[in-house]
Amino acid sequence: MNIYLIRHGETDWNKQGKIQGHMDIALNQQGRLQAKILASKFKNIKIDRIYTSDLLRASQTAEIINKTTKSLLIADERLRERNYGDWQNYSWSEVHSQNPNLKEEWRTNPVHSRPPKGESLHDLYNRITRFLSELISEAKNNILIVAHNSPLKILISIAKGITLEEFHTIDHLSNTEIIQIKSTEGNLSINEEEYNKISLNKTKLAFQNQIV
């Protein structure tokens, strides 16, 4: 089974650098355009199902893609972004300024550290793996998962066979970025060469943007 992991399109909060978490923020004009461009990439690929987070920014992205793929579209709240609790609606710089010991806490306890009224990385892992166990029990050919940065990074880490302690080594996904993984007899895998090529291109682009 081919699984295409897709991060949702851009929102105004993405542009403003604000933590969205479970906040239900819609796509902006650029995000809708990104989703339309993304949909064209699947014009000649038969997609059996699209699974999407039920949050607007993901479900709107999925709906735009589905105008091209005409697939069975399934919303699942387990694909939501990590719940950042009281940190939502703030920037990361604001969160760190209000929590000066946060970096040290993440260094010593990255898996179980939890935002106030939010989820730990372990909490997120548990709900994503519950979704995954149901997904791989059903035989399909090509599926899309439209979700958010952290849930998709959990799936990538599983495919790469790395631990939650190494979660931070997975690159941040850009809006409407695609990562392809495979499920074979219940085991996830990823083409490391292709994945590394994507990471290298993103690094080059970031460097070029800094120069400009």
Q: Single out the catalytic residue among 22, 63, 77, 81.
A: 81
Phi/psi region, residue 63 (left: phi>0; alpha: psi -120 to 50; beta: rest), is alpha
Are the C-beta atoms of 69 and 39 separated by less than 8 Å? yes
What is the per-residue pLDDT for 56? 98
Domain limits for position 137: 2-211
Number of domains within the chain: 1
Phi, psi of 145, rounded to the nearest 5 degrees = -120, 115
Are the C-beta atoms of 141 and 2 separated by less than 8 Å? yes
Residue 81 a catalytic site member: yes
What is the per-residue pLDDT for 191? 84
Check which CATH number belongs to the domain holding 88 and give it: 3.40.50.1240
Residues of the chain with pLDDT under 70: 139, 197-212
Q: Single out the catalytic residue among 8, 10, 119, 148.
A: 8
Q: Which residues of 155-176 are buried (b: 16+ CB within 10 A; e: fewer)?
A: bbbbbbeeebeebeebbebbbb
Which long-range contacts (C-beta less than 8 Å, at least 24 apart) are formed by 94-103?
Answer: 95/19
Are the C-beta atoms of 148 and 177 separated by less than 8 Å? no
Which long-range contacts (C-beta less than 8 Å, at least 24 apart) are formed by 160-164?
Answer: 160/190, 160/192, 160/195, 164/110, 164/111, 164/121, 164/122, 164/125
